[in-house]
Structure 1
Amino acid sequence: MSDTLSEQLAIAARTLARLGLTTAFGHVSARSHDSILITPAADLATVHADDLIRLRTNADDLPRGAPAEARVHLAIYRARPDVHAISRAQPPAAAAAAAAAAVGSLPLLHGQAAWLGESIPIHRSAHLLRTPALAVDAANTLGNQGALLLRGNGAVTVGPTPGIATARMTILAAACQTWLSASASGTTTPLTDDEIASWSAVADELLPRLWAHLEQAGQHPRCG
């Protein structure tokens, strides 16, 4: 893996932290061929490229220092050849939205939410994803979408790069807050299939612009 990818991963991790989408917990990973790099079990605000941990995508055991939920990263990579980066965080509105939604997915209420997929599935188990079986269950719930809400346990977003996976996490946070606010008013108007398709068509153009804006927050690590 290139130093460039390592630095992209570190910047994405620090961005998540500085945008308030993680606390002491959260991780970002990226893969290249049959290996992945993942952030350590540490405060993402302080992560440098040389702090990253390498493991094989077919690994059965996790190396020392890797987050215990690295297993869900491995399960998603094994199930999704199109995914090359994963963001794991705890948007403040995610827990409330996942708990309040009456069905198995969160409706899309604003255009950018269509960049997460056709829907936002909700994984109903609140267990920590620390075993291969639980991780595979979560990967199956994600399916072919770009984001997954974990009831009582934050969220996962995926993408072709660490930056796009992280940009999707900010969109997921906004989608949860929008749904909660609209639901409190008593009225929600989900996007139509045609509206979702029209927004999805410009995702490759506009998601990189969003990430270019967001990454300014993570360019420089905090001292200490």
Structure 2
Amino acid sequence: MSGRTAAAPSVGTLPAEVADAARTLAALGLVSAFGHVSARHGDRMLITPPIDLAEATADTLQDIPLDSTALPPHAPGEAWAHLAVYRARPDVRAVARATPESAFAAGAVASGTIPPLHGQGALLGDAVPVHDDARLMRSAGIAEGAARALGHADAVVLRGNGALATGGTPGHAVARMWLLETTCRLHLAARQAGAVHALASEEITSWRAAGPPLLDRLWAHLRSPGGSPPR
């Protein structure tokens, strides 16, 4: 692993989980040349390097302290975005960074937030916030702005710059990114039809109460050979 820091032995199967999630994100067509998956372990994070996610393996990951003030050599510049989310949200264990086309379109037309229009969309939060800043998140300051926009939601659309999704596991983060792509497509279709009928708060609460098992099932489907193909 030339130029990279090896994962600490104590992380167990986590490197393999991160790499599996990264390859699945690529297989789903939610990234092009750009995108990352990371996971928190203790006061550090494992993150994919700046390579095609389809080629990610456990031994390609970088191990970065959460309190870093500078990134190590060969780390992705947008590692700052992952660090900012982990610092702001102790509950978040994994982050997926992707560039679904529907997020670009929805981010350009949405007014601040994108409400869930179907039950599974509620697994992203009461609404998906839109971060109104299309700059690359290659500094701590810019990345912190995206983390603030995320707030207590489980995903955030980055206007002109893709999206971030969070989870308790790398698989859940990827499942939420897939749901975000669907949520953005539905939002665009509903706007075009002229009738955006968002879920009521009690409906959102009901779906979110069932969240973890549903995310488990969705992740198992997405990572299977017959899972949802690229859109």
- Per the normalisation by structure 1, the TM-score is 0.95
* Identical counterparts, % of pairs: 51
Q: 1:2: Cα distance to partner?
A: 2.5
- Matching residue of 2:115: 107
- Aligned to 1:130, which of 113, 128, 138? 138
2:177 is equivalent to residue 177 of structure 1? no
Verify the 8 A CA contact 1:18 1:217 in the aligned structure 2: no
- Matching residue of 1:147: 155
Distance 1:128 1:120 in 2: 20
Q: 1:217: Cα distance to partner?
A: 4.9
- Matching residue of 2:6: none
Instruction: Trace 1:158-197 onto structure 2 (pairs within 5 A).
Output: 158-197=166-205
- Matching residue of 1:16: 25
2:46 is equivalent to residue 46 of structure 1? no
Deviations 1:61-113 (A, max 9, x none): 11122110000110110110000100000112000000011x21011111101
Instruction: Trace 1:197-216 onto structure 2 (pairs within 5 A).
Output: 197-216=205-224
- Aligned to 1:27, which of 15, 22, 36? 36
State the structure with bigger RCO (CA 8 A, min sep 6), 1 or 2: 1
Verify the 8 A CA contact 2:11 2:41 in the aligned structure 1: no
1:31 alignment partner, SS class: strand
Verify the 8 A CA contact 1:71 1:130 in the aligned structure 2: yes
Distance 2:179 2:167 in 1: 13
- Matching residue of 2:3: none
- Per the normalisation by structure 2, the TM-score is 0.92
Distance 2:101 2:224 in 1: 21
Distance 1:68 1:81 in 2: 22
Verify the 8 A CA contact 2:47 2:63 in the aligned structure 1: yes
Letter in 2 for 1:159: G
Verify the 8 A CA contact 2:134 2:160 in the aligned structure 1: yes
Distance 1:77 1:104 in 2: 23
Verify the 8 A CA contact 1:83 1:159 in the aligned structure 2: yes
Structure 1: runs of 5 or more not aligned: 219-224
Verify the 8 A CA contact 1:19 1:217 in the aligned structure 2: no
Distance 2:59 2:151 in 1: 32
Letter in 1 for 2:33: A
Distance 1:31 1:143 in 2: 18
Distance 2:71 2:129 in 1: 27
Q: CA RMSD in A?
A: 1.1
- Matching residue of 2:4: none
2:39 alignment partner, SS class: strand
Letter in 2 for 1:66: A
Verify the 8 A CA contact 1:28 1:162 in the aligned structure 2: yes
2:13 alignment partner, SS class: helix
Letter in 2 for 1:27: H
Distance 1:45 1:86 in 2: 17
Runs of 4+ in 1 over 4 A off after TM superposition: none
Verify the 8 A CA contact 1:15 1:217 in the aligned structure 2: no
Verify the 8 A CA contact 1:108 1:114 in the aligned structure 2: yes
Number of matched residues? 217
Residues 68 and 210 of structure 1: is their aligned pair in 2 closer, same or farther, counting only changes over 3 Å?
Answer: same
- Aligned to 1:64, which of 69, 73, 79? 73
Letter in 1 for 2:216: P
After alignment, is 167-176 or 204-213 more displaced? 204-213
- Matching residue of 2:92: 83
2:50 is equivalent to residue 73 of structure 1? no
Q: 1:119: Cα distance to partner?
A: 0.8
